[in-house]
Each structure stands twice: as structure tokens, then as C-alpha cells.
Amino acid sequence: MENTAHYILPILLGISLAAACGLRVFLPLFVTSLLTYFDVGGVGLRDGFGWMGEWPALIAFGVATVLELLAYSVPFLDHLLDTIAVPLATVAGTLVAASTFVDLPPLFTWSLALIAGGGVAGLISAGTATTRVASTTATAGLGNPLLALAETVGSLLLSVLAWFLPVVAAVLVITVLWVVRRLWRRVRDAA
């Protein structure tokens, strides 16, 4: 059982962090960099990803996070950012997932990171972009900063949960995806 947990927990961590990248591209990377730099959380990064826990990466992810948060608080800029956020989130989700898949064979690591990590991040990012368009339509853009705040809090919460309680984070991701799917079906069926 312990051997299974050795593989499962890093996978849950990586996929949960990837999901957080779907809400904010750089915030989960910054949290990962910060916790790795200070050796907090108990899970290391895969060989070859040590650079994520060094000063240059910490500074780069920190600056990128601040710029992303500022851009999403401005209604016009948030839509511009959404045009590149889905592919960026997919890449970031793949990267952060692969970085946490410690001790897995490379083919399995990259296949799982691309399909599950990148897929979940891209799906969530596309969902938030669609939600932002609906918010802009319904509120003339006035509700977008509130939506941006909710996404930021969600990304931060999910990033921290992923590191300290990866099972809880994974259950949260699955629950949110299930709720979104049900809501999407209701909207589709009503139309």
C-alpha cells in the first residue's frame, strides 16, 4: 500500500496543480517554486526540474504572477489575456504535472502530464474564458474583476491544497468538473 501511495500522491499533486493552472497560469508555478525553494510540502520535484526551486525561477514566476493578476483585474485586458491563456495553461499544466511525477518512467510521466495535466488545465482555462465572456455580456464587464478574484482565490487554494492535501485537492477538482458538466448540460438542454 505504501508503494502505491508513493506513486499516486505525486500524480494527484501534479494533476491538481495543473487544474489550478487552468484558473491562473503562473500562480501554481509560483507556489510550486516557492515551496520547493523553501523545501516545504514534503514532495520533491522530478530530476531535471530542480531549476523550478531556484531564485531565477522564483523571481520569474513571481513577476509573471503579479502581471497576470493585474491584467485579469482590467476588463479589456482580461479578454486579451484569455486569447493566449488556454494554450499557456495547457503548457503550464503539462510542465507542473511532469515536475511532480517523481520516480515514474519518462514515457508514462510525459504521457500523463500532457493528457491529464495539460488536458485538465486547458479544459478549465477554456471554461473560465467562456465564463468571462458570459460575465462581460451580463454585466458589461463590471463583474469581471469579481470573477477574476474568485479564480485567483480558487487557484491559490487549489495550489496550496495540492501540496499539503493532494487527495482533498483531487476530490475538489473532480467535484468542480462534475458540477460544471452538469451546469453545462442544463444550459445546453434549456437552449
Convert the pLDDT of each residue in 93-131 to its tens digit: 999 999 999 889 999 999 999 999 999 999 999 989 888
Q: Distance (Å, rounded) from C-alpha 79 to C-alpha 132?
A: 8
Cell 467535484, located at residue: 175
In the prediction, which pLDDT does 135 show?
A: 86
Residue 154 near residue 179 (C-beta atoms within 8 A): no
Average pLDDT over residues 12-34: 97
Cell 496550496, located at residue: 160
pLDDT exceeds 60 at position 5: yes
What sign does the CA torsion over 10, 91, 51, 108 have?
A: positive
- Segment (H or E) for 1: none
**pLDDT band per the 50, 70, 90 thresholds, residue 41:** low
Structure-block grid coordinates of residue 4: 502505491
The residue ranges of every structural domain in the chain are: 2-190
In the prediction, which pLDDT does 166 show?
A: 93
Average pLDDT over residues 48-58: 95
In the prediction, which pLDDT does 2 show?
A: 59
| pTM (2 d.p.) | 0.92
| Number of separate helices (H) and strands (E) present in the chain | 8, 0
Q: Lowest mean pLDDT: which of 2-6, 70-74, 147-151?
A: 2-6
In the prediction, which pLDDT does 134 show?
A: 86
Convert the pLDDT of each residue in 152-183 to its tens digit: 999 999 999 999 999 999 999 999 888 878 87
